[in-house]
Amino acid sequence: MAQTRFALLFAALLLASGTSAQNQDRECACDLANLWLDVGVVQVDSDIVTLFGQSTVGSGYQDPRSTRVGLVTYASTATQQFDLNRFNSTDDFIQGIFQYAKVSTDENSIIKSGLSSAFDLMTKARANNVRRNYKQVVIVYASDYKEDGENNPLQIADQIKESGTTIITVAFNQNTGGALTAGLAKIASPGAAFKSTDMNIVGEIQNMLCQVNCFCPDTWVQYTNAFNDPTAWKYGVCLRIGEIDSMWTAAKYACQNLFQGAYLATEFDNKKHDFSRLFFSNDTTNSPPYMYHIGLSYDTATQAYTWEQPANVARLGLSGQTYKAWNSGYPQLTSSTGCVLNQQSGSDSMVGWQNENCYSVAKRYVCELSSCDTSKYCDNRV
């Protein structure tokens, strides 16, 4: 009884303080059970069982969101122990991989041989376009790093990365210290070099796998916390510039028609506002003064500014955020100026929000879309 009263009081306090939902950009979903990747592991540590223990290993399930895992081991030469079709359930995988769960400390280990074999494994796994829409990952556990002469692994590592596959490395020997870590960092994709002694190594790799599984359809650019930085943290949001000058109302429908679930872009905070501006001005077909429509407009029914959302999803109120980017003197609302664009007003390339006529101002625009990730499967058509 006392507990119920306390809960009610607490709920009332929350409502009163107005800390309810703030407008927020979508984070990449990270539900490990629905991870959908193709993974080649090069040597393993016993962590591997925990790493994929919550995931659906194999393929051919009714839900296409599953992860295939294969294994290469190596010393001076490499062996493909399991191709990516070998395991058809998580239990099967755990049982099969267990006997190999030990990183070789053989001093004759040549990492290049492991990587070459992994590249071959991943290429075969994709033969006949099988699971072409699944991102590929190679996870390398290594206790030694050799870069001399014909054993130099950098070229094959670059080839793997250029093919679109992410390389995650785990340095597995404290003793070789700096040299091993520095060497593996050259092989790894940006931000994907880890150490087995890291506090939460399994969690770190799982987060990285979710980031890899979070991507945009071709021709869309992913919103991240740093423009043009390959190590930046990805949001579950994709952006694309509408290529034809259109009035706001036409731009709204153009975004919706560009891709299922797309809509005119939102700006919930300064980071997103800046990212969109950099994205827009980075496109050399746009020149200053920069002007482009965004998904903000005045809704006469509710008498409030609201943000576009996917068709059939309720729009979000501007009241749900503290961030506003109005140019000085704005908003200036009349019955014909309910729509909003970003407008450069000074000689720097900064832009701010301004009201505009919804039917007459022909400008480019920025569209937005949820990324593909563990909660959103994207088939081959993307």
Scan residues 43-102 and list those touching ligand NAG (CB under 6 A): 88, 92
β 351-356/304-307 pair status? unpaired
* Nearest-approach distance from CB 339 to ligand NAG, in angstroms: 25
Rounded-to-integer distance, Cα 247 and Cα 252, Å: 9
204 close to 225: Cβ distance less than 8 angstroms: no
Comparison of 177 and 190: residue with beta carbon closer to ligand NAG: 190
Which helix H or strand E contains 193, and what residues bound it? strand 193-195
Cβ-based nearer residue to ligand NAG, 65 or 112: 65
Span 308-337, contacts to ligand NAG by CB under 6 A:
none
3-state SS, residue 198: coil
Give the Cα separation of 278 and 148 in Å (integer). 42
Among 54, 79, 270, 282, binds ligand NAG (CB under 6 A): 282
Tell me, by CB under 6 A, how many residues bind ligand NAG. 6
State the burial class of residue 64 (Cβ atoms within 10 Å of its Cβ: 0-12, 13-18, 19+).
middle
Q: How far is the CB of 255 from ligand NAG (least distance, A)?
A: 18
Terminal alpha carbon distance of the chain: 54
In terms of CB distance, is 88 or 286 closer to ligand NAG?
88
Backbone angles phi, psi at 51, to 5 degrees: -55, -45
Nearer to ligand NAG, 79 or 282 (CB): 282
Separation of CA 197 from chain center: 26
User: 165 is written with which tokens?
Assistant: 């596959």
Minimum distance, C-beta of residue 88 to ligand NAG, in the bound complex (Å): 4
Paired with 316 in beta bridges are 307
Least CB distance to ligand NAG at residue 90 (A):
12
Letters for 216-255 (x = contact with ligand NAG by CB under 6 A, - = none) are -----x------x---------------------------
Q: How far is the CB of 287 from ligand NAG (least distance, A)?
A: 14
| Residue 60 Cβ vs ligand NAG, minimum distance, rounded to whole Å | 7
List residues near ligand NAG by CB under 6 A.
88, 92, 221, 228, 279, 282
